[in-house]
Structure 1
Amino acid sequence: MSYKINIIIEKDENGYYAYSPELPGCQSQGDSLAEVKENIEEAVRLYLETLSESEKQVLLNKEIFTMFLEIQLA
């Protein structure tokens, strides 16, 4: 079965950090963008394997929106 899951990736001075807003506690890190993508995919796969079908439906049916907001300050 295939699932679409939102992933947020942030870059900081230590590398990259990734997490899924739908899956509480599901997070990973990596030294490069490629590494963090690989690591979070594995983390999500393992996380989903621990859930029942009903738990998956509850968590993965959340509506999550992302946007860019530009604010000018005086």
Structure 2
Amino acid sequence: MTEFSFSVVLEPQPDGGFTVSVPALPEVVTEGDTEAEALANAEEAIRAILAYRRDNGLTIPDDADPKIRRVTVAA
């Protein structure tokens, strides 16, 4: 079995809980009530997407190197 490692973006939500996205796999967006639950859900979603991609002959991309920047605008 091949191991893959992907960067994830963990965002706390204003009303509680966390949302997780995976820049290299844009189809993976999940959430959880705690950071641990959100990351566990992300692992499960990543496994499902990798299996789908493998089963359908789609490439599995390399990890993305997300850059987080702050943009300030007046509106």
TM-score, scaled relative to structure 2: 0.73
Where structure 2 has 5 or more consecutive residues not aligned to the other structure, the ranges are: 71-75
Length, aligned pairs only: 67
Matched letter for residue 35 of structure 1:
E
User: Percentage identity across aligned positions?
Assistant: 23
Question: Which has more helix, going by share of residues?
Answer: 1
Structure 1 residues 63 and 23, CA gap change in structure 2 (3 angstroms): closer
Matched letter for residue 2 of structure 1:
E
Moved beyond 2 Å, runs of 4+:
65-69
Cα deviation digits, residues 6-42 of structure 1 (max 9, x gap): 1110001231000100002211100111110110010
Cα deviation digits, residues 27-71 of structure 1 (max 9, x gap): 110011111011001000111001136611xx22x55143576xx
Where structure 1 has 5 or more consecutive residues not aligned to the other structure, the ranges are: 70-74
Give the CA RMSD over aligned residues.
2.2
